[in-house]
Amino acid sequence: MKPPYDYRLNKPFLTPIIDIIKENNRIKTFIIEYNPIFEPVKINPGQFVMVWIPGSDEIPMSVSHIGKNSKISISVANVGDTTHLMHQLKIGDKIGIRGPYGNWFTSQDGTAIVIGGGIGMASVLSIIQDLSNHKKIPTDIKIDKIICINGAKTETELCFTEELQKILNEGDSLEICTDDGSLGFKGFTTEKLKEILDKEKSNAITVYACGPEKMLKTVFQICEDHNKISVQLSLERMMRCGFGICGLCALEPTGLLVCQDGPIFTNEILREITDFGKIHRDFSGKTYSI
């Protein structure tokens, strides 16, 4: 689904950090007041905001929790300069937020398989909550079951496991995967996905995923090989502006922009993207193979 354009969202507003949760040694969740100056704006599962850390840069972050009373959270992996600075912030410190940007995940009938690779789990958390709500109180969308695959390199890098256990209902399942086998299935999330799809009988399946682009490419290929199962994949490309001006997040050869036309893409578009799972750009736009 595509959001309406709203020019007022392109200016950051300063908002205090209300709480900080340490998810593991690398990831912290920051709860903030989402309080745009004008009328309230609805945030949907999988959308992202641009986060400005005074004294440093502005970086894209998925909204990991869409709370009540205008509270949202972002879950940040400490990987570089700005995220490192963010990890030093305390409750009460202010950060700048603009957005939400991008399209969003939409709950589909049937069996939902949701995959989070590492910090990619932050982007899919809110669609898991949404699917679970639809399952508990069936509306026009009927969810049969949710299978969640949570993967990381090793046990200490897994995130949101306890929270996922609370969100999921009877009949749902949580599959833990670690590359080194320190917890759960030893291997990649994509191997677990293939194992599940080889056995799954339902013919209404949707796969939702976020994680490293190589993982997403394999998820896509597996789904295409299983009767072209519908996917909604959230891509993370280098971003500067977040709303379609700089062109840094363009997907070749379509010219589609991850920030504006994504970050969530479905089968029809993914089939057209020739650099999907192949390249990474730096801030100058230079491409590298991944």
Ligand X SMILES: Cc1cc2nc3c(=O)[nH]c(=O)nc-3n(C[C@H](O)[C@H](O)[C@H](O)COP(=O)(O)OP(=O)(O)OC[C@H]3O[C@@H](n4cnc5c(N)ncnc54)[C@H](O)[C@@H]3O)c2cc1C
Rg (CA), the chain: 18
Ligand-binding site membership of 177 (annotated): no
- The answer to whether the annotation marks 246 as part of a ligand binding site is yes
Contact 51, 73 (CB under 8 A): no
Of 93, 102, 90, the C-alpha closest to 4 is 102
Query: Which amino acid, one-letter code, is at 254?
Result: T
Nearest to 18 by CA among 67, 77, 84, 85: 67
Q: 65 Cβ partners below 8 Å, 6+ apart?
A: 29, 31, 71, 72, 73, 125, 126, 129
Task: Specify the residue for token string 């929790």.
Answer: 65
Those residues whose C-beta lies under 8 Å from the C-beta of residue 130, and which sit 6 or more positions away, are 45, 105, 107
Candidate residues 239, 241, 264, 273; the one interacting with ligand X per rule CB under 6 A: 239
Tell me if 248 contacts ligand FES by CB under 6 A: yes
- With tokens 């589909």, the residue in question is 108
Phi-psi region of 125 (alpha: psi -120 to 50; beta: other; left: phi over 0): alpha
Listed residue (177, 114, 121) closest to 147, CA to CA:
114
Given 36, 44, 52, 62, the residue binding ligand X (CB under 6 A): 62
Q: 176, 263, 264, 273: which one contacts ligand X (CB under 6 A)?
A: 263
Q: Binding of ligand FES at residue 51 (CB under 6 A)?
A: no
- Choose the binding region for ligand X from 57-65, 92-100, 127-135, 178-186 (rule: CB under 6 A): 57-65
Give the count of residues interacting with ligand X (CB under 6 A). 23
* 159 among annotated binding-site residues: no
**Residue span binding ligand FES (CB under 6 A) among the ranges 16-24, 156-164, 203-211, 247-255:** 247-255
One of 11, 14, 19, 81 touching ligand X (CB under 6 A): 81
Residue 69: C-alpha distances to residues 33, 66, 123, 131 (Å)? 8, 10, 21, 21
Distance of CA 281 to the CA centre of its chain: 19
Q: Which of 17, 43, 77, 127 binds ligand X (CB under 6 A)?
A: 77
Distance CA 275, CA 272 (A): 9
**Binding piece for ligand FES, criterion CB under 6 A, among 33-41, 91-99, 217-225, 243-251:** 243-251
Q: In the bound complex, which residue of the shown chain has the CB atom lying closest to ligand X? A: 80
User: Which one of residues 245, 271, 283, 290 is an interface residue with ligand FES (CB under 6 A)?
Assistant: 245
249 a known binding residue? yes
Closest approach of Cβ 160 to ligand X, in Å?
11
Given candidates 70, 244, 254, 267, which one binds ligand FES under the rule CB under 6 A? 244
Please report, in range form, the residues annotated as the binding site for [2Fe-2S] cluster.
Answer: 241, 246, 249, 259
Binding site for ligand FES (CB under 6 A): 239-242, 244-249, 257, 259
Binding site for ligand X (CB under 6 A): 48, 57, 59-62, 74-77, 79-83, 119, 122-123, 236-239, 263
